Amino acid sequence: MSTQTNAAVRNEQKQRIGIRTMVQVGMLSAIATVLMLFEIPLPFAPSFYEIDFSEVPVLIGCFTMGPLAGAAIEMVKILLNFLINGTVTAGVGEIANFLIGCALCVPAGLLYKKQKTRKGALIGMAVGTGMMVIVGCVINAYVLLPVYAKAFQMPLDALIGMGTAVNPNITGLSTFVIFAVAPFNLLKGVLVSLIVLAIYKKISPIFRMR
């Protein structure tokens, strides 16, 4: 086989891989968008903190196609949700949600890419969950809560008061982050990781089919 023929075959294979990746990103983004619509309230946090499992398809995409593909899925999911539900924060909340979602999935995808074993997946998801908690706390304290207070035309203390009504240990912004935001992100990271751990090996061959 000539050099030109080999090059043509390689180019065709790259095109097929690129198309397949785009299709898979689109499919996982659509699933993530649907999952984002189903939110579950939590007893230890105010009503505006509701958990969803839209990061499950994102994390699966990170493991099967790499962290960049996972970040793309997260971005498309946020954009689709923006088109469906709109925004009350001029896009700030959507950007924050993108960063928090990536804080979980991208580190997990990077570590799993280096060590594609069950242990690698567990380490990646543990690190990602820790990053999600840290990033979520910082962004909520300094971005999301002030933005939501301004969007709903209410003082920040009123939002904190909603937390106090659920948990009397919440007396200020710092305790709100400790007793509401941190547990929320920790629980979400753990649940998403457990779901992916349970289903990944069963469905990953679908994404690797040539």
Give the C-alpha separation, 121 to 196, whole Å. Answer: 10
Q: What is the tally of structural domains in the chain?
A: 1
% of the chain beyond a pLDDT of 70: 90
Closest CA relative to residue 95, chosen from 108, 107, 78: 78
Contact 204, 59 (CB under 8 A): no
pLDDT band at 210 (very low <50, low <70, confident <90, very high): very low
Residue type, 176: F
Two tokens, residue 7: 């090059």
CA 134 to chain centre: 14
pLDDT at 209 over 80: no
Mean pLDDT computed over 172-183: 95
| Structural domain contains residue 12 | no
pLDDT at 161 over 80: yes
| Structural domain contains residue 164 | yes
pTM beyond cutoff 0.85: yes
pLDDT at 191 over 60: yes
Give the C-alpha separation, 206 to 165, whole Å. Answer: 47
Closest CA relative to residue 128, chosen from 78, 186, 200: 186
Contact 150, 126 (CB under 8 A): no
Helix (H, G, I), strand (E, B) or coil at 41: strand
- What confidence score (pLDDT) does residue 12 get? 55
**CATH label of the domain that carries residue 188:** 1.10.1760.20
Each residue's pLDDT tens digit, 54-75: 999 999 999 999 999 999 999 9
Give the C-alpha separation, 89 to 109, whole Å. Answer: 29
Helix (H, G, I), strand (E, B) or coil at 207: helix
pLDDT at 2 over 60: no
pLDDT at 204 over 90: no
| Structural domain contains residue 15 | no
pLDDT at 149 over 90: no
Each residue's pLDDT tens digit, 17-46: 678 888 899 999 999 999 999 999 998 988
pLDDT at 105 over 70: yes
Closest CA relative to residue 85, chosen from 98, 75, 94, 97: 94
% of the chain beyond a pLDDT of 90: 67
Helix (H, G, I), strand (E, B) or coil at 87: coil
pLDDT at 139 over 80: yes
- What confidence score (pLDDT) does residue 13 get? 55
Q: Which of 27-31, 45-49, 114-118, 185-189 has the lowest mean pLDDT?
A: 45-49
| Structural domain contains residue 72 | yes
- What confidence score (pLDDT) does residue 202 get? 85
- What confidence score (pLDDT) does residue 14 get? 57
- What confidence score (pLDDT) does residue 152 get? 82
- Other CB atoms within 10 A of residue 116 CB: 11
| Structural domain contains residue 31 | yes
Give the C-alpha separation, 91 to 52, whole Å. Answer: 19
| Structural domain contains residue 152 | yes
Contact 24, 207 (CB under 8 A): yes
| Structural domain contains residue 19 | no
| Structural domain contains residue 17 | no
Structural domain containing residue 118: 24-207
